[in-house]
C-alpha cells in the first residue's frame, strides 16, 4: 500500500467511514502533500454560463465521429440552437470539409432562419485564421452579417451544449444495430433528431421539448455588417474564367487578375482591403495574394 492509500485508509479507520466522500479524499491528499496545487486552473464554480435569450441568437456546431458496422469511420456535423437546444442540423459525412459543413449550415438556415451568431471550436472546417486568413465558412458568416465566435484552444466547455448533444446522440446510436452505410447511419441520426426535438423533454427548457422552446419566442437574426471580413475588408465571389483570370472593379475601373490556368472554372472568394487582394478557394486555400496596381488593367502572376 503506497503512502497516499495508507493515509486515506488511516483516516477512514479512524472515523469509521465505510465510503469516503470525494471532498474528504482530496482534503486529506492536499494536507499530506500528495496533490500539487494548480492555481492557474479556474474552479468550476467560477465558470460563467452563457445562454442565449432568444432562438437563433446563437448556434453551436461541432463535428464528431462514429464507426459503421464494418469499422469505416464517418463524421457527423451537428448544429444546435443555444437557447432552445433544438438540433437544427445533424448530417452524416464521409469526411467533414469546410465546403460540406457550409452546405449543412446553409440548409439549416433555409429551414430555421439564419442565426445572429455561430459558436464553434478551432477546427479547420470552421476557422483558419491561425493559418493566415479566413476560410470559406468564416467568409460566408461574416458576409451574411453573422457574428463568428470560437472557443479558446483546449477549452471545450465553451461549446458545452453541442458536446452534450453528441453524448446523447451517441448513447442512442449505441443501442441501434450497427449501420452498414452512410445512408443507414443518416436514417438512424434522423430518427434520433426527430425524437430529441419533438418528444424528449429537456431539463434546460423547463421540461419542454426543444421544438416547443424554439417556437415559443421571437427569433433573433443576423445583425452585423455584411460583406466584411474584419475592418475595411470587402468580399467578392467570382469564378476563375477559362483564361485563369478573375475580375475586380476598383474605383470604377475593371481589373483582371491572373490566378493560373490550373484553377480555371474554380469558384473563389476575393478578400479586398484597399489595394491588398487575396483570392481564396472555397476550400480555404490561398490561391493568390497581391497588391493591386491601379494603373494596370491586367495584373499578371508574379
- Using pLDDT thresholds of 50, 70 and 90, give the confidence band for residue 129: low
Q: Where are the domains of the chain?
A: 3-40, 59-215, 234-299
60 close to 80: Cβ distance less than 8 angstroms: yes
Tens of pLDDT along 150-178? 765 555 555 678 999 999 999 999 999 99
- pLDDT for 49 beyond 70: no
68 close to 165: Cβ distance less than 8 angstroms: no
Alpha-carbon span 149 to 6, nearest angstrom: 48
Distances (CA, A) of 162 to 38, 60, 81, 157, 223: 28, 6, 9, 10, 23
Neighbours of 144 (CB within 10 A): 17
229 close to 142: Cβ distance less than 8 angstroms: yes
Tens of pLDDT along 265-275? 998 888 888 89
Look at residues 23, 119, 20, 122 and name the one whose alpha carbon lies nearest to residue 78. Answer: 119
Q: H or E stretch including 50?
A: none
In whole numbers, what is the pLDDT of the chain averaged over residues?
82
Q: Answer yes or no: CATH 3.30.420.10 is held by domain 59-215.
A: yes
Alpha-carbon span 12 to 46, nearest angstrom: 31
234 close to 228: Cβ distance less than 8 angstroms: yes
Tens of pLDDT along 244-267? 999 998 888 999 999 999 999 998
Alpha-carbon span 117 to 8, nearest angstrom: 49
Alpha-carbon span 218 to 56, nearest angstrom: 9
Alpha-carbon span 97 to 108, nearest angstrom: 17
- Using pLDDT thresholds of 50, 70 and 90, give the confidence band for residue 10: low
Tens of pLDDT along 187-197? 999 999 999 99
Amino acid at each position: 500500500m503506497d503512502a497516499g492509500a495508507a493515509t486515506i485508509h488511516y483516516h477512514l479507520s479512524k472515523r469509521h467511514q465505510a465510503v469516503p466522500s470525494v471532498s474528504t479524499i482530496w482534503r486529506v491528499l492536499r494536507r499530506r502533500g500528495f496533490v500539487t496545487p494548480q492555481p492557474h486552473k479556474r474552479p468550476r464554480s467560477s465558470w460563467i454560463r452563457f445562454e442565449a435569450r432568444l432562438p437563433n441568437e446563437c448556434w453551436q456546431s461541432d463535428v464528431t465521429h462514429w464507426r459503421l458496422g464494418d469499422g469505416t469511420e464517418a463524421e457527423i456535423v451537428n448544429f444546435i440552437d443555444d437557447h432552445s437546444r433544438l438540433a437544427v442540423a445533424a448530417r452524416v459525412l464521409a469526411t467533414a470539409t469546410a465546403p460540406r459543413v457550409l452546405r449543412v449550415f446553409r440548409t439549416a438556415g433555409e429551414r430555421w432562419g439564419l442565426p445572429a451568431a455561430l459558436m464553434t471550436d478551432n477546427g479547420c472546417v470552421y476557422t483558419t485564421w491561425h493559418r493566415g486568413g479566413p476560410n470559406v465558412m468564416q467568409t460566408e458568416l461574416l458576409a451574411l452579417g453573422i457574428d463568428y465566435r470560437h472557443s479558446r484552444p483546449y477549452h471545450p466547455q465553451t461549446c458545452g451544449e453541442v458536446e452534450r448533444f453528441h453524448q446523447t446522440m451517441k448513447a442512442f446510436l449505441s443501442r441501434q444495430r450497427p449501420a452498414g452505410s452512410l445512408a443507414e447511419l443518416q436514417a438512424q441520426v434522423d430518427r434520433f433528431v426527430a425524437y430529441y426535438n419533438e418528444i424528449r423533454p429537456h431539463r434546460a427548457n423547463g421540461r419542454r421539448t426543444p421544438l416547443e422552446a424554439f417556437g415559443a419566442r421571437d427569433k433573433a437574426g443576423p445583425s452585423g455588417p455584411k460583406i466584411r471580413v474584419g475592418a475595411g475588408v470587402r468580399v467578392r465571389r467570382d469564378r476563375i474564367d477559362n483564361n485563369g483570370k478573375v475580375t475586380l472593379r476598383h474605383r470604377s475601373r475593371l481589373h483582371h487578375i491572373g490566378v493560373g490556368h490550373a484553377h480555371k472554372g474554380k469558384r473563389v472568394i476575393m478578400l479586398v482591403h484597399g489595394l491588398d487582394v487575396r483570392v481564396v478557394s472555397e476550400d480555404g486555400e490561398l490561391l493568390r495574394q497581391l497588391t493591386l496596381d491601379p494603373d494596370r488593367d491586367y495584373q499578371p502572376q508574379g
